Each structure stands twice: as structure tokens, then as C-alpha cells.
């Protein structure tokens, strides 16, 4: 049965694949608690991004949100290297049970430099909480589930969905997943968002070393 990522909600994913949401997951706590000392340049740049969003970000469309805020913040974290990189608007697909899952992921951190190979992190962005084209939480989680299947192991898969100014981080491990509280890019929580992205880079590096 062919199914696009946009068709999925949390309830449908839980019913179709037997995974469940938990309130606490050690892997999510590890990601959110990563310690990083932001330097002067990063602090100034993040402040400028915050102020740019405050000027008119609530009126941006999804392309503007991606180009003016999300990508600049992720690029600042120096994600890209010869082992893995941040890719935009790439297709992801896998057959899991009776479902042929496929969809375009707004942002993906995966091994590979010119093209994505093994995905570690999936990001979906939405202009609004409700959208006629799908549910942000469900679309992000089904992409993560697809990534987990493609990786053919029980490693942690990370995710994030961004709705306007609000960022939620997700972790999928085995048959359990957890979702963080929202962080606002329009106030000083933008520094916490950046620390999480730096932590994500560190944890992906650890995964690669283990394999």
C-alpha cells in the first residue's frame, strides 16, 4: 500500500507500527542537556537571527522561514563535513510491513557529502499548527521511522518540527519516541535551540564512531 508522509498522524503511526510515545527518554534528555559554550560570534549571529524573526517572522511563508532562519542557524553549527551533511528537500522512502512509505523531507542530516545515504535526523517545517497538507508531528515521526528502517539497526534517530517560531525536538529509539517541549526562536531560547543542534552534531559523530 503506497502512502505519502503527509498522510500520517501520531495516532495512525502508533496503530500501524506498534510504537508508543513516552514522556521521558534518556536519549532525548541527553540531546537537550548538551553543554556548549557559545562564543561571541555565534552569540551575535543568533541575536541577529532572533531580531530578524521578531521584525516580521510571523508573516514569513515556509520558504522564507527555511531560508532566513532554519538553515542559517543549522549552518552556523557547522554540521557539514566529509562524513555527514545537512540536506534540503530530499526524498526518503522505504517499505515497512504493508506500507510503501515515501515523502520529501524538508531538512535531513545524513551520512554522505554530495547526496544523503544513512539518515540520522529529519526536520519538517510548517507555517501553522494546522495545515491542510498534513500534521507536522506525524510527518516528522514517519520520516524518522523510515530512517530507522533504512539504517537497519536500533540506533537513535533524531527529529525536529518547526511551526513558525516554535521548535520541538524528537527522539525515536526502538519502539518508543519522545517529544520535547517547544523552544521559541523569538527570545533567548534561540541559544538553547543552537546548543541542541550542536549536541546533535556531537551525538551523530558518536554514532558513526560506534559503527
CB of 204 closer than 8 Å to CB of 198: no
- Its pTM stands at 0.94
154: CATH: 3.90.1570
Residue 127 pLDDT level (bands cut at 50, 70, 90): low
Q: Is the pLDDT of residue 114 over 90?
A: no
| Number of structural domains the chain divides into | 1
Terminal-residue alpha carbon distance, the chain: 33
CB of 162 closer than 8 Å to CB of 126: yes
**Per-residue pLDDT tens digits for 14-28:** 999 999 999 999 999
Mean pLDDT of the chain: 92
Q: Is the pLDDT of residue 130 over 50?
A: no
**Per-residue pLDDT tens digits for 31-80:** 999 999 999 999 999 999 999 999 999 999 989 999 999 999 999 999 99
CB of 155 closer than 8 Å to CB of 14: no
Report the 3 state secondary structure along the chain. Answer: CEEEHHHCCHHHHHHHHCCEECCCCHHHHHHHCCCCCCCHHHHHHHHHHHHHHHHHHHHCCHHHHHHHHHHHHHHHCCCCCCCEEEEEEEEEEEEECCEEEEEEEEEEEEECCCCCCCEEEEEEEECCCCCCCCCHHHHHHHHHHHHHHHHCCCCCEEEEEEECCEEEEEEEECCEEEECCCEECCCCHHHHHHHHHHHHHHHHHHHHHHC
Q: What gap in Å lies between CA 107 and CA 71, rounded to an integer?
A: 9
CB of 66 closer than 8 Å to CB of 160: no
The β-bridge partners of 184 are 166
Domain, as residue range, for 24: 2-210
Amino acid at each position: 500500500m503506497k502512502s505519502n508522509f503527509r498522510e500520517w498522524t501520531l495516532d495512525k503511526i502508533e496503530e500501524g507500527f506498534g510504537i508508543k510515545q513516552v514522556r521521558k527518554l534518556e536519549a532525548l534528555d541527553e540531546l537537550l542537556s548538551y553543554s556548549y559554550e557559545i562564543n561571541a560570534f555565534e552569540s551575535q549571529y543568533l541575536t541577529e537571527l532572533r531580531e530578524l524573526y521578531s521584525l516580521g517572522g510571523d508573516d514569513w511563508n515556509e520558504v522564507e522561514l527555511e531560508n532566513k532562519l532554519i538553515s542559517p542557524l543549522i549552518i552556523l553549527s557547522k554540521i557539514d563535513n566529509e562524513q555527514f551533511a545537512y540536506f534540503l528537500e530530499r526524498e526518503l522512502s522505504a517499505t515497512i510491513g504493508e506500507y510503501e512509505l515515501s515523502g520529501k523531507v524538508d531538512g535531513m542530516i545524513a551520512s554522505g557529502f554530495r547526496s544523503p545515504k544513512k539518515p540520522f535526523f529529519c526536520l519538517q517545517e510548517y507555517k501553522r499548527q494546522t495545515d491542510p497538507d498534513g500534521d507536522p508531528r506525524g510527518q516528522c515521526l514517519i520520516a524518522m521511522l523510515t530512517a530507522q528502517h533504512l539504517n537497519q539497526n536500533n540506533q537513535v534517530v533524531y527529529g525536529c518540527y518547526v511551526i513558525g517560531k516554535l521548535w520541538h525536538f524528537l527522539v525515536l529509539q526502538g519502539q518508543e519516541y519522545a517529544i520535547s517541549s517547544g523552544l521559541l526562536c523569538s527570545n533567548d531560547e534561540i541559544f538553547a535551540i543552537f546548543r541542541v543542534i550542536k549536541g546533535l552534531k556531537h551525538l551523530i559523530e558518536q554514532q558513526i564512531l560506534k559503527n
